[in-house]
Amino acid sequence: MQSLAHSLCAISRQVERLTSQNKNANLETLSQISELKSLNGEKNDHKLPVLQDSDEEAETNKLLENMPLKEIQALKDFDLKMKSHKNYYHAMISALQVRANTKSSVKTARSIIGLLIHPQLCSKLSWKGVQRKDHTDKKTSFKDLQTCHLIFRVTRNLFPNLKSDDVAKIETTLSNWLAQTGCAAKSKDLET
């Protein structure tokens, strides 16, 4: 009888572990779908589950309703608003902490930039603002924007023990995301 009880407990633990893994896999799949849709420029109608009360959820949705930003002027206005209204800046931090992928600091930063910046805007941005000789478009420096500082602030809030290596990986990830997404958006525009 005791051996049967131990067997049932072991089975119960395995079922619980598998259920937990299944939930994590589902959330990861939803997150990947969301990221792919944002890369393809599609509206993300499929919201990730949010565990918060309805007032906070409504506030989060309101703050993020005009995201991702598609025009450089909208990005500059967004930056100015965060600089001049600290309450807005802190509200954005809270909203992004709720919506960001929190599997790792790099995935968090990548998910936030995807929430904030539309692929068609990426072609007007680069990490340092430097443009290549063969490009005629002037690029805006992303690393100097308040939006970039916002991404790092949210990431540091979620991962308080970030090391300089982690920060360098995040910078590389954001720089690559801007470059690759901008190129993909330009290619897509050329095809249509």
More confident residue, 82 or 10: 82
pLDDT of residue 93: 94
Q: Are 174 and 151 in contact (CB under 8 A)?
A: yes
Please write the tens of the pLDDT for every residue from 145-168: 999 999 999 999 999 999 999 999
Q: Are 172 and 111 in contact (CB under 8 A)?
A: no
One-letter amino acid of 72: I
Dihedral Cα 115, 120, 122, 124, nearest 10 deg = -140
Backbone angles phi, psi at 53, to 5 degrees: -75, 165
| Averaged pLDDT of the chain | 79
Mean pLDDT of the 59-85 span: 92
**What is the pTM for the complete model shown?**
0.68
pLDDT of residue 47: 44
Q: What single-letter DSSP state applies at residue 126? A: E
pLDDT of residue 145: 96
